[in-house]
Amino acid sequence: MDIELAQTFLAIVETGTFLDAANKVHVTQSTVNMRIRTLEQ
């Protein structure tokens, strides 16, 4: 698993929303969506 994917997943767990997670890891919400889709596969 890529470290960025793990950090993004943890940010979602901590913040509760994709938007807040995106702000926390300094990426766009669409990047968060893409990373979660990658994890789901």
Q: Which two tokens stand for residue 10?
A: 């943890």
Of 3, 5, 4, 14, give the one whose Cα is nearest residue 40.
5
What pLDDT digit, counting tens, does each position of 1-41 carry?
Answer: 699 999 999 999 999 999 999 999 999 999 999 999 999 99
Residue carrying structure tokens 């994890």 = 39
Domain containing 18: what range?
Answer: 3-40
Question: What is the count of structural domains for the chain?
Answer: 1
Whole-model pTM: value is 0.88
| CB of 8 closer than 8 Å to CB of 36 | yes
